[in-house]
Chain A
Amino acid sequence: MKYLSALLIFCGVAVLGVGGFIYSGAYQIGADVPHTTPVSWVLEILRERSIERAARDIPVPELDDSQLLLAGGPDYNEMCSGCHLEPGRTESDMSVGLYPAPPDLTTHDEEEEHGETQAAARQFWIIKHGIKATGMPAWGPTHDDQRIWAMVAFLQKLPELSELQYQILTARGEDDSGHAH
């Protein structure tokens, strides 16, 4: 009974301490100051586990298709490359200024990390739903699934593309207004 009371008092003090710290405004919330190691760890685990759980049952269509690359390339260029970069470019104002730093998708190979199917499902989910407090928007409300899968197909090839290949695949032709998919 004595131990239980002590434990309850300890928990109460801990909750009050954490609550007081949060309310005090002492935590540095500026994007130019990194999170403390424990906060980084908690947020990363929260993010990765949540995405893994949400994306695990998404059926992945055939993505090795030139038409999907042609549809997804210009969208990537206009919607994503400002943060996630393009071949021949190592940083941008957004990639330097955002915290957490957006992954450089020209070098970051999700397939290596998660396997081909899971990587595609994760990318689809992230593009569609976005990630809270990271700067990654949810494109789902304004883009249908077919258009998002086209971007995922393009992402699968992006780490292998040269600057010329990227330029040709992402340039909108004269007939391509960007809205007909």
Chain B
Amino acid sequence: MSKRVSLLLAGTLMLALYTGLSLAHDPKEHKAESPDCAALKEMDVSQTDKNDPVMKAMLQKCQDEQHADDRDNRDEHTIADSHHSDEDSSAHESH
């Protein structure tokens, strides 16, 4: 029975690997998931038209991305702080 399960697992793994390889034959097919806002920061936007829909859309996208990053950082800090306070309280209790 366990041999059958192992065979099934091995088969699934090989199929997944084959599918992944066949879909990933050209690295260019893989798109970056996050907008490259660092490059936008390096651009001289003073000469560009702020009312141009393309520029407005880019600025909006990077602003949203920045907000998402800030929120993630805040969440990480909150989790880290709660871990610290848990450790502190358990340390106090043991003393």
A residues neighboring B (CB under 8 Å): 64-67, 69-70, 73, 77-78, 82, 89, 92-93, 157, 160-161, 164-165, 167-175
A167, B61: Cβ atoms closer than 8 Å: no
B64, A160: Cβ atoms closer than 8 Å: no
Closest-CB distance, A170 to chain B (whole angstroms): 7
A66, B34: Cβ atoms closer than 8 Å: no
CA distance A89 to B33 in the complex (A): 18
| Chain A, Cβ-Cβ closest to B43 | A164
Residues of chain B with a CB closer than 8 A to A161's CB = 54
B residues neighboring A (CB under 8 Å): 26, 28-29, 31-37, 39-40, 43, 53-54, 56-58, 60-62, 64-65, 68-69, 72
CA distance A64 to B39 in the complex (A): 24
Could you name 24 residue pairs across A and B whose Cβ atoms are closer than 8 Å?
A66-B54, A66-B56, A69-B57, A70-B60, A78-B31, A89-B28, A93-B26, A157-B53, A157-B54, A164-B40, A165-B54, A168-B36, A168-B58, A169-B54, A171-B31, A171-B33, A171-B34, A171-B61, A173-B35, A173-B64, A173-B65, A173-B68, A174-B69, A175-B64
Counting residue pairs across A and B whose Cβ atoms lie within 8 Å, the total is: 69
Residues of chain A with a CB closer than 8 A to B39's CB = 164
Contact of A167 among B36, B53, B54, B60 (CB under 8 A): B36
| Chain A, Cβ-Cβ closest to B62 | A168
Report which residue of A82, A168, A170, A172 has the largest number of chain B beta carbons within 10 angstroms of its beta carbon: A168
| Chain B, Cβ-Cβ closest to A73 | B57
B68, A167: Cβ atoms closer than 8 Å: no
A171, B35: Cβ atoms closer than 8 Å: yes
| Secondary structure call for the A interface | helix
Residues of chain B with a CB closer than 8 A to A167's CB = 32, 35-36
Residues of chain A with a CB closer than 8 A to B33's CB = 171-172
CA distance A174 to B70 in the complex (A): 12
Asked whether A69 and B53 contact (CB < 8 A) given A168-B40, A168-B62, the answer is yes
Residues of chain B with a CB closer than 8 A to A64's CB = 53
Asked whether A169 and B34 contact (CB < 8 A) given A93-B26, A174-B68, the answer is no
